[in-house]
Structure 1
Amino acid sequence: MTTCVGIVGGLGVGATVHYYERIAAACRTRGFTPDLVIVHADVEHGQSLIRAGRLDALADYIVGFIERLGRAGAQWAVLPAVTPHIAIAEIVRRTRLPLINIVDPIAAELRRRRVRRVALFGTVFTMEGSLWGQLKDVEIVKPQPDELALIARAYQAILDTQKADADDAAALRRIAATLQQRDGVEAILLAGTDLAVMFDEQTAGFPAIDVARLHIDAIVERLAS
């Protein structure tokens, strides 16, 4: 008997596909078929609500999809994107389904590695918000404004095209090196799941922790329970 997990897809599409492929592969390796339900949300609508600071409306929008997942048989829900977790407290309060929060496995991995000083690569909302205080006992170093703008632009390009640009990847690697040398950052959190389109922990070329991988591992464990 496995657990049914529902995925709010579309936030963005590349990340959803990445999650689906990796979850299916991991479950196949472990010898069972995952019980999954997926719905599709509109990333542009979600981003517009975040830009407008309408977090209550964002929570309502996402909860609507989570409720649909519940009606389809899901016992747990997942947001395969970091930025929508900006409204996680409101989402949790408004839905009966428990969520596999992306921050929990990040915190566990940082404790395991004894990493205390990190930076984030992701959307401007995630980087500016520093995971909204959900990571305890970890210092999150913000890139300089010009670096922040470059990272955000590169990430938006992935969302828009679902492709990785080689020049953008090289620029992010240079910023990562600067953050290590200038700011003493121990690791970069790949805190935008669509970054998986560009690189992962093995191909990044800098000390990276793949948030999507950690989240996927947690999802697979829940599916197997």
Structure 2
Amino acid sequence: MPSRSPIHIKPTRIGLIGGLAARAGIYYYERILQEYQGAKIALDLTLRHADMGTVLRHVGSGDRVGLGHYLGSLANELFDAGMDTVSITAVAPHLAIDEIKKRAKGPIIDVLATIPGALKSAGFERVAIFGNRAVMTSAVFGAVPEDMVVKLDPSEIARVHETYTDIALSGKRGTKAEVAYFDDLAGDLLGRRGAQAIMLAGTDLSSFYADREPDFPFLDVSALHIEQILAGI
């Protein structure tokens, strides 16, 4: 993991759309709150709960328009409540980020925009991606150039997706067996297949490793997103 740059906190009225997995919104909420408390800056932080089943159906079917309409409407509820910015506390719903932005009344902090610069800053030229199936098979919706992706085989994609979905739905931290599987797969991707790091492209992987960071080189997309939210860009 590259060393963390200082965060320059800007917005004071932040809206989050959570409910997309059991721990995702809470993870963002806690991390943002910690930064503001540490900086002794007053914060108006509002978490709006989305229906996970609705989001997963849209993501699973690739329905960008329906997802954009649904999450854009929730974002506008937050803007109507006086929020300066709104962010979606999961990577997979960024499938519809363009549609959400078109519908929203204010700025949506887009996690996909952070990824190219973070890869360049870290010096990573080859990465493997862990997350939801849609995120893995689309190279994080095109945010990672295809020629930089060390691809998992179909059975690995299926197992990572199933494990990730179970983590997201149950809100649990990693079991020993799950941690061992990710460690072994990462070791093979890094040691034999040429990856330089594993991209953790799912908020629930961030909370999965909250108690102990992975032993392998990684890039945490949720951490990038939170820094972007704090900077208000």
Alpha carbons 2:11, 2:230 under 8 Å: kept = no
What's 1:170 paired with? 180
Deviations 1:23-82, CA, capped at 9 Å, x for gaps: 111111112122222210011211112222322111111011001011110121101100
Residue number among 197, 202, 210 corresponding to 2:207 in the alignment: 197
C-alpha separation in 1, matches of 2:111 and 2:43: 19
C-alpha change, 1:124 and 1:67, in structure 2 (3 Å) is same
Alignment of 1:1-225 (within 5 A): 2-136=11-145, 139-163=148-172, 164-199=174-209, 203-222=213-232
What's 2:6 paired with? none
C-alpha separation in 2, matches of 1:44 and 1:166: 28
SS in 2 for 1:130: coil
Deviations 1:167-222, CA, capped at 9 Å, x for gaps: 11110111111111222111111100011232159621110111111111221222
Aligned residues: 223
C-alpha separation in 2, matches of 1:189 and 1:201: 18
What are structure 1's unaligned runs of at least 5 residues?
none
* Aligned-residue offset at 1:156: 0.9
Alpha carbons 1:201, 1:207 under 8 Å: kept = no
With normalisation by structure 1, the TM-score equals 0.92
SS in 2 for 1:133: coil
SS in 2 for 1:21: helix
Alpha carbons 2:129, 2:201 under 8 Å: kept = yes
* Aligned-residue offset at 1:3: 3.4
* Aligned-residue offset at 1:109: 1.8
C-alpha separation in 2, matches of 1:216 and 1:56: 26
Deviations 1:129-154, CA, capped at 9 Å, x for gaps: 11121335861222111111111111
C-alpha separation in 1, matches of 2:28 and 2:194: 31
SS in 1 for 2:149: strand
Amino acid at match of 1:82: V
Greater alpha carbon shift after TM alignment, 190-199 vs 29-38 = 29-38
C-alpha change, 1:150 and 1:136, in structure 2 (3 Å) is closer
Q: Between Structure 1 and Structure 2, which shows a larger proportion of helix residues?
A: 1
Alpha carbons 2:19, 2:49 under 8 Å: kept = yes
What are structure 2's unaligned runs of at least 5 residues?
1-9
SS in 1 for 2:144: coil
Amino acid at match of 1:29: G
C-alpha change, 1:202 and 1:96, in structure 2 (3 Å) is same
